[in-house]
Amino acid sequence: MDRREFVAAAGTAVTGALAGCGAFPPGDDPADGNQTATEWATSEPIEENLEDPETAEDGSYSVSIEPMGEVTFDGVPETWVGNNGSWADMALALGVTAPKALWLPSRYYTRYYDDIPNVSVDGSSISALYSDGVGKEQFYDLDGDVHIFDPNFLQNRYSGWEQADIDDVADIAPIFGNSSFTHNYDWHSGYRYYTIEEAFAKLAKVFRRADHYNAIASVRNDFIRNLSDVVPDDAADRPDVANIWGSNQPESFYPYHIGQGTSYRQLRDLQVGDALAKAGVPDFYDTRGQIDYETLLDADPDVLLVRGHEDKSRSEFEDKVVSFMEDHDTASTLRAVRNGEVYRGGPLYQGPITNMVVAERQAGQLYGADADLFDRQRVGEIVNGNL
């Protein structure tokens, strides 16, 4: 980009909805925080007619997203620096090159693409922004054409960052993003969140790849319909799951209620029950505390979903985590352990492709679905520009 311009319209609300997306699509309204997982509305098909933003006479164009408001681009970005794997997955789906850097590249699980023809990402080529903090000098060194992250995340999650530092980074290249993977940060309460599809559409406009978005939207619409067909109509036939975070040989866990945010998307669409919430076990975001096997036994879920192990295959997870539970005096008495219903819990960060891979995997584990729920061949074609 010859000239980089960041325009921040402070307090500007994004009032227009994306094509086919309401202000808060089903299951993602942050005002509905008291609903149980079985009450979440499931995802509806999305429109496939997104258009790239109009350009001005000088070739510039603008895209709006909260909390930045209108962000102006003088040309289509070629390189970028991002927050997490959600944005990286979206960019891949748009046929855009991998980011120069992410906060934690190790949490961008590129093995999800192993079964998608002609799609791969070299994770080792992505630099890590975070190492005992995030330094401003890194952004100067990386010199990306756009920074895809929520500036409030940077200011509130890392010490030493002030608005003046954010402005300095914005002088390098525009800042554009929103933290939607969870709805539990107090600092995010003043502005809206985005679903996977909404954020994906926003990023498509930034890179002017509406054609890629529409092609992926078609695949996702088929996937959403296929997924809904897998889920039993009767809630009694859907399992209660405990969503926890644990180590390789876990003696204690961080408990997570199934709530809002894109990291819970597949669980809402699969309409599982929340065993921890039903048993009155506090959510991690309320207490920052851990629970032990005795507490898990009180909830005694049908299924245990253990987060923090997406870097492992199913067999590696069984060798490291499940076998430990099976040999543990208390863990072995849990219904989920006895019945062989302990699985990887899915990633924190999900984009359109990642979500389909993870949701399909868990649909098979929870409901026995044995068919492909989305067209991997078509996804590979889209990523490679065959639209």
The per-residue pLDDT for 159 is 83
Let me know whether 242 and 332 are in one domain. Answer: yes
Domain CATH for 351: 3.40.50.1980
> Which of 188, 210, 229 is the last residue before a domain boundary?
229
- Asked if residue 386 belongs to a domain, the reply is no
Domain C-terminal end among 212, 229, 246: 229
Shared domain for 221 and 300, answered yes or no, is no
Whether 240 and 312 map to the same domain: the answer is yes
For position 97, what pLDDT does the model report?
Answer: 95
- Residue 362 falls inside a structural domain: yes
* Within-domain flag for 179: yes
Shared domain check, 149 and 261: no
Taking the C-alpha atoms of 217, 222, 224 and 226 in order, what is their torsion angle to the nearest 10 degrees? -170
Q: Is residue 20 part of a domain?
A: no
Residue 338, phi then psi, degrees to nearest 5: -60, -35
At 162, phi and psi to the nearest 5?
-115, 170
CB 145 within 8 A of CB 78: yes
| pLDDT score recorded for residue 40 | 64
User: DSSP letter string over 279-343?
Assistant: TTPPPHHHH---EEHHHHHHH--SEEEEES-TTS-HHHHIIIIIHHHHHSTTGGGSHHHHTT-EE
Helix H or strand E encompassing 242:
strand 240-245
| 210 Cβ neighbours under 8 A, 6+ residues apart | 50, 51, 52, 204
Residue where one domain finishes, among candidates 229, 247, 262: 229
Q: Tell which residue, 141, 139, 98, has the closest CA to residue 120.
A: 98
Number of domains in the chain: 2
pLDDT score recorded for residue 133: 81
Residue 340 placed within a domain: yes
* The pLDDT of residue 39: 56
What residues make up the domain containing 293?
Answer: 233-380
Same domain flag for 67 and 148: yes
**pLDDT value at residue 158:** 84
Rounded average pLDDT per 10-residue block, the chain, 387 residues: 32 28 32 45 88 97 97 98 97 98 95 97 94 90 97 90 95 97 91 96 98 98 97 96 95 94 95 97 94 97 97 96 97 98 97 98 97 97 97
CA distance 328 to 333: 9
Residues 301 and 375 in one domain: yes
